Amino acid sequence: MIEVNNLCKSFTRVVKDESNKKIKKLKTKKEDFLAVDNISFSVKQGKILGILGPNGAGKTTLLRMLAGILTPSSGNIKIANHDYSIDKNAAKCEIGYLSGNTKLYGRISPRELLTTFGNLYEMPSEKLKQSIEDVSEVMDMKNFIDNRIENLSTGQTQRTSIARCLIHSPKVYIFDEPTLGLDVISSQSIIEFMKNEKKKGKTVIYSTHYMEEAETLCDKILMIHEGKIIANGTSQKLKEDTQTTNLRDAFISLASKGGELYEK
Ligand SMILES: Nc1ncnc2c1ncn2[C@@H]1O[C@H](COP(=O)(O)OP(=O)(O)OP(=O)(O)O)[C@@H](O)[C@H]1O
């Protein structure tokens, strides 16, 4: 369902320039670095892949490239048999992407937001009406679907953001930290949602810093560090490889050793 080959993204950063130590004033220079460094993996239909990694590891950069909103420096992405380099729009139509910092316009209701996005996907009006009913049922939005978004709670806003990703019935969900900042009940409802979508044959790639959540939910874990894959497998395998009893300890062990274990 998803195939990623040798994906790289380079950015420019500003660093201290120590080439001439005689100059006392702080000098800086620009340098290129790889935020995503030669990443390859695949995810089968109906599976959930969790992307884990320390802050700045490159998770968001990777997900933004998968969602088609950031152009890779090199490498290739295929979503549901659509190659980004051949037909990016067809690939993007198969994706529902939730960014990590989704901000919704506050002066409209969730229903109006969903209608706007359905229209952008050029959905016929009857189909769109039905889809709004379906997603508001799935995301439990009936009580607030006609309220202004600016008056919703954090959890209700996040459910609205996720509903926006579902409106066109994509095959693949790409979620950047979907449960960040939510209380246990709200995050549990999103976890249950992902489990149910998996049962329907949908494919999910999502990033999180919550290890327990990833351990119970994900079929496979991709751990990245400084833009590189340092582990790829089931949480059971990661625990065995690191001789740990939970994913949190496996994460700490892998991150502290960098790529050493994966390269063996
Ligand atoms: N547009 C950009 N220009 C320059 N550097 C960037 C840009 N976007 C991200 N970076 C850098 O790329 C690296 C990876 O960032 P990214 O946001 O992908 O990490 P992350 O794993 O999602 O981190 P976090 O867990 O903190 O959200 C960081 O060093 C970041 O500063």
CATH of domain 2-94+173-263: 3.40.50.300
- Tell me the pLDDT tens digit for each residue of 171-218: 999 999 998 888 888 888 889 989 999 999 999 999 999 999 999 999
- Give me the residue spans of the domains in the chain: 2-94+173-263, 100-169
Encoded amino acid at 243, one letter: Q
Which one-letter DSSP state was computed for residue 183? -
- Tell me the pLDDT tens digit for each residue of 57-98: 999 999 999 999 999 999 999 999 999 989 988 999 999 999
Q: How confident is the model at residue 26 (pLDDT cuts 50, 70, 90)?
A: confident
91-128 residues labelled b (16+ CB within 10 A) or e (exposed): bbbbbbbbbeebeeeeeebbbebbbebbeeeebeeeeb
Q: Please report, rounded to a whole number, the percentage of residues in the chain having pLDDT higher than 70.
A: 96
Per-residue model confidence (pLDDT) at position 17: 80
Mutate to test the pocket of ligand 1, among 7, 8, 9, 11 (most ligand atoms within 8 A of CB): 11
108 SS3 class: coil
- Tell me the pLDDT tens digit for each residue of 237-252: 999 999 999 999 999 9
H or E segment to which residue 43 belongs: strand 28-43
State if residue 33 touches ligand 1 by the CB under 6 angstroms criterion: no
Per-residue model confidence (pLDDT) at position 264: 45
Per-residue model confidence (pLDDT) at position 110: 97
pTM: 0.91
35 SS3 class: strand
Mutate to test the pocket of ligand 1, among 14, 60, 99, 210 (most ligand atoms within 8 A of CB): 60
Contacts for 242 with CB less than 8 Å, ≥ 6 apart? 249, 250, 253, 254, 261
Q: Which two tokens stand for residue 116?
A: 């706007």
